[in-house]
Amino acid sequence: MLVLAAALVGLALALGVFLWRLSTLFQVDGDQRAAALFLLLGTLMTLQGMTIVGLAWLIVAVSRAVLRHDAAGLTLEHPWRRWHGEPDGVRQAWRQGPWLVLEIDGEWRRWYVWVKEQHAALEQFRELLPAGAWLEGAGKRRYLVRTVLPPVLVAIGAAGLLGVWLLSRMGPN
């Protein structure tokens, strides 16, 4: 899957280089609409490549995370990273559909562990967590709104400003 994503990104980059070289054959001569369209096309192709790689990474990353508990503590393992510590190191944990989501002190990324059919194991894990670490209901919604909504609003605002700027540049002079 990752090889396919890399091949598609390479194809998109090759197509971008081809279009850039092709655009040098045509003289734009100050045509701002053509330049803006070229920038928009290049941006869309870049975003397409980033989306393909991101989705491939997400599929591999979340599908292989493993959570283990033994006398030595908690262990989270995944192909690219590993964490081992005490249950007190779990800052926040909640269930998101079939996934157990964990935020660990000192880690900037969240851990996603597949727990769809493991109700008994999930209850045992909840008992290990420090007080207030397990989120559900209104507390979970407040936490997610506080952590997820600001970056989404910033991205929407930036895209809107970029769109307004592009439209103003493409308008009649």
Shared domain check, 128 and 86: yes
Shared domain check, 107 and 168: no
CA atoms of 143 and 140, how far apart (whole Å):
5
Tally of domains in the chain: 3
Last residue of a domain, one of 61, 84, 104: 61
Shared domain check, 14 and 45: yes
What local confidence, expressed as pLDDT, does residue 62 receive? 66
Shared domain check, 75 and 19: no
Question: If DSSP codes are grouped into helix, strand and coil, which group holds residue 129?
Answer: coil
Q: Which tokens sit at 122?
A: 């999930």
Shared domain check, 131 and 75: yes
Residue range(s) defining the domain that contains residue 43: 2-61
Shared domain check, 127 and 141: no
Answer yes or no: are the C-beta atoms of 32 and 170 closer than 8 Å.
yes
Shared domain check, 140 and 129: no
DSSP 71-128: TTEEEEEETTEEEEE-GGGEEEEEEETTEEEEEETT-SSPEEEE-TT-HHHHHHHHHH
Give the strand pairing for 66-70 and 73-78. Answer: antiparallel
Taking 70 as the pLDDT cut, the residues of the chain under it are 1-2, 4, 19-32, 35, 61-63, 171-173
Shared domain check, 96 and 113: yes
Answer yes or no: are the C-beta atoms of 155 and 113 closer than 8 Å.
no
Shared domain check, 130 and 140: no
What local confidence, expressed as pLDDT, does residue 66 receive? 86
Shared domain check, 153 and 120: no
Shared domain check, 158 and 127: no
Last residue of a domain, one of 10, 40, 61: 61
